[in-house]
């Protein structure tokens, strides 16, 4: 069970006060933390007296907020265990699910590529040849490792199959790398904002995160990078140099070389999450991998480019690290399913065709979202992204979490800006995907405009309603 101190919980709340009653605002923000997954199911909140002291509120106010959450089904009070986070009408081990009719834009994902069904059928035809084998593989089928290596070669980075390990998606790869590269208490440099589950994997491995700023328009703070490497001497740096999630930023070639030079001085292993790298919209030709500029471990997957349900990722690293990763893998799983690897092999044989279609879809999605937001919410700052799946919108006021709650009550699920940071930062930002079709995007912008209009009267949702989950 996660036990939250009042100090940590206060940091997670961020700027939670609105214009409504304090107890209602506190309950609303806590509920959003639960629905966003920032407060895990089963976590224990601070005692009422401890939290009231930290927030400089009366205990009656905190008690009323907790009571409101209990009445709505978001807290359970257990003798000897305090106030435990839960979800209304769900078992304690389940996460919130959207009801029919709810539009979920909290995921940055594409629908399955049209070629996937044909690729899966071809893979099934190859399956009989594999049925005498165990059905899983800890390092990857030789043919698939070879195809991935060839893909790197086509992008300007000569690669041998022995430098490839096939994983169960990119998240599995990042978690495995974190466990191998970090010892408890080691520091890890991470962009801010960042992909939240990547940061979760580092924390789960015992790493202490050192943030470095990245913005859509200015990119990476190189001076901040220099200071972070010099002062923290991180064991690992988790970076997304291509179409960064959530900002969409792309790291300049000179900065790539500078980053790897800094890492070399401190012995830091740079892990580049390149799951978005080939989702370029405007740039001609393949995006050059970070490791062209110096030593770096690369993570890729088919989850963002082909379909999230195809759980195939990979790690490109030197063979000695691959061997360490294989040995460490057995503590959590025994290998990647062979059938999915066969599907991936078929997909890679048509990858250029698939990517061309994805780029066309994303280009239309980006232009559509930009046009709709310009018409409905002209004061929002919407950066033009050159690729990837998301844009990082500056909404102009530190109300991302209340806006997300207001949109949720209208049937639209979004991830609030602070999901991508820590301690309540990024309340001025909202991540919006560019990967959805015209009906979904149009509806989403209509809901956002309605919620924003209501927020003009009050920076918090006007009433506390049961969530649409």
Q: What is the pLDDT of residues 188-201, one digit of tens each?
A: 999 999 999 999 99
pLDDT: is 41 or 21 the higher one? Answer: 21
Judge whether 408 lies within some domain: yes
In the numeric block, which tokens belong to residue 289? Answer: 């991998």
The crossing angle, in degrees rounded to 10, of helices 253-266 and 222-232 is 10
Work out the average pLDDT over 403-420. 92
pTM of the full predicted structure?
Answer: 0.82
Tallying the residues shown for the chain, one arrives at: 469
Asked if 257 and 163 sit in the same domain, the reply is yes
Asked if 187 and 282 sit in the same domain, the reply is yes
In the numeric block, which tokens belong to residue 314? Answer: 């990979």
Reduced to 3 states (helix: H, G, I; strand: E, B; else coil), residue 438 is helix
Cβ neighbour number for residue 197 with a 10 Å cutoff? 12
Asked if 220 and 248 sit in the same domain, the reply is yes
Work out the average pLDDT over 332-351. 96
Asked if 209 and 282 sit in the same domain, the reply is yes
Query: End-to-end CA distance of the chain, in Å?
Result: 23
Asked if 247 and 319 sit in the same domain, the reply is yes
Asked if 149 and 69 sit in the same domain, the reply is no
> Across all residues in the chain, what is the average pLDDT?
91
Asked if 341 and 403 sit in the same domain, the reply is no
**25-72: per-residue pLDDT in tens?**
999 889 888 876 678 778 899 999 999 999 999 999 999 999 999 999
Asked if 384 and 290 sit in the same domain, the reply is no
Asked if 137 and 285 sit in the same domain, the reply is yes
For residue 346, the model assigns a pLDDT of 98
Buried b (16+ CB within 10 A) or exposed e, 212-250: bebbbeebbbeebbeebbeebebbbbbbbbbbbbbbbbb
Reduced to 3 states (helix: H, G, I; strand: E, B; else coil), residue 137 is strand
Distances (CA, A) of 439 to 382, 444, 453: 20, 9, 21
Indicate if the pLDDT at residue 22 is higher than 50.
yes
Where residue 66 falls (left for φ over 0; alpha for ψ -120 to 50; beta otherwise) is: alpha
Which domain, by its residues, includes 287? 116-349
Residue where one domain finishes, among candidates 331, 349, 367: 349
Asked if 246 and 344 sit in the same domain, the reply is yes
In angstroms, rounded to a whole number, what is the distance separating the alpha carbons of residues 202 and 169?
Answer: 16
Number of domains in the chain: 3
Residue where one domain finishes, among candidates 310, 331, 349: 349
Asked if 158 and 304 sit in the same domain, the reply is yes
For residue 1, the model assigns a pLDDT of 59
Asked if 260 and 329 sit in the same domain, the reply is yes
What is the DSSP pairing of strand 297-301 with strand 313-316?
Answer: antiparallel
Judge whether 1 lies within some domain: no
For residue 42, the model assigns a pLDDT of 81
For residue 462, the model assigns a pLDDT of 34
């Amino acid at each position: 069970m996660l036990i939250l101190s009042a100090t940590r919980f206060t940091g997670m709340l961020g700027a939670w006060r609105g214009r409504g009653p304090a107890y209602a605002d506190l309950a609303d923000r806590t509920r959003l933390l639960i629905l966003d997954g920032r407060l895990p199911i089963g976590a224990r909140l601070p005692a009422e007296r401890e939290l009231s002291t930290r927030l400089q509120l009366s205990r009656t106010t905190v008690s009323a907020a907790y009571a409101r959450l209990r009445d709505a089904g978001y807290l359970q009070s257990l003798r000897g265990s305090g106030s435990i986070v839960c979800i209304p009408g769900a078992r304690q081990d389940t996460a919130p699910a959207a009801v029919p009719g709810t539009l979920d834009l909290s995921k940055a994902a594409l629908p399955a590529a049209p070629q996937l069904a044909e690729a899966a059928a071809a893979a099934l035809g190859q399956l009989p040849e594999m049925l005498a084998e165990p059905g899983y593989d800890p390092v990857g089928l030789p043919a698939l490792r070879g195809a991935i290596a060839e893909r790197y070669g086509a992008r300007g980075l000569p690669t041998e199959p022995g430098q490839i390990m096939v994983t169960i998606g990119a998240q599995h790869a990042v978690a495995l790398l974190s466990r191998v590269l970090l010892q408890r208490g080691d520091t890890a440099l991470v962009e801010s904002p960042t992909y939240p589950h990547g940061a979760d994997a580092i924390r789960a491995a015992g790493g202490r995160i050192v943030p470095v700023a990245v913005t859509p328009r200015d990119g990476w703070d190189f001076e901040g990078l220099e200071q972070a490497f010099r002062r923290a001497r991180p064991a690992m740096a988790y970076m997304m140099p291509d179409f960064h999630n959530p900002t969409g930023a792309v790291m300049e070639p000179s900065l790539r070389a500078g980053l790897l030079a800094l890492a070399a001085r401190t012995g830091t292993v740079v892990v580049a999450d390149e799951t978005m790298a080939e989702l370029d919209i405007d740039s001609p030709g393949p995006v050059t991998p970070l490791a062209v500029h110096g030593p770096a471990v690369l993570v890729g997957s088919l989850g963002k480019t082909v379909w999230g349900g195809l759980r195939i990722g990979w790690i490109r690293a030197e063979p000695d690290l691959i061997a360490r990763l294989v040995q460490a893998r057995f503590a959590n799983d025994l290998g990647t399913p062979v059938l999915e690897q066969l599907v991936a092999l078929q997909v890679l044989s048509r990858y250029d065709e698939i990517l061309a279609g994805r780029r066309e879809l994303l280009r239309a999605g980006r232009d559509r979202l930009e046009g709709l937001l310009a018409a409905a919410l002209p004061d929002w700052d919407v950066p033009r992204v050159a690729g990837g799946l998301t844009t990082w919108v500056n909404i102009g006021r530190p109300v991302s979490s209340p806006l997300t709650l207001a949109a949720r009550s209208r049937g639209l699920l979004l991830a609030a800006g602070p999901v991508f940071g820590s301690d309540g930062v990024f309340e001025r930002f909202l991540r919006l995907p560019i990967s959805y079709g015209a009906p979904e995007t149009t509806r989403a912008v209509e809901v956002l405009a309605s919620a924003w209009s209501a927020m003009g009267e009050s920076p918090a949702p006007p009433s506390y309603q049961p969530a649409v989950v």
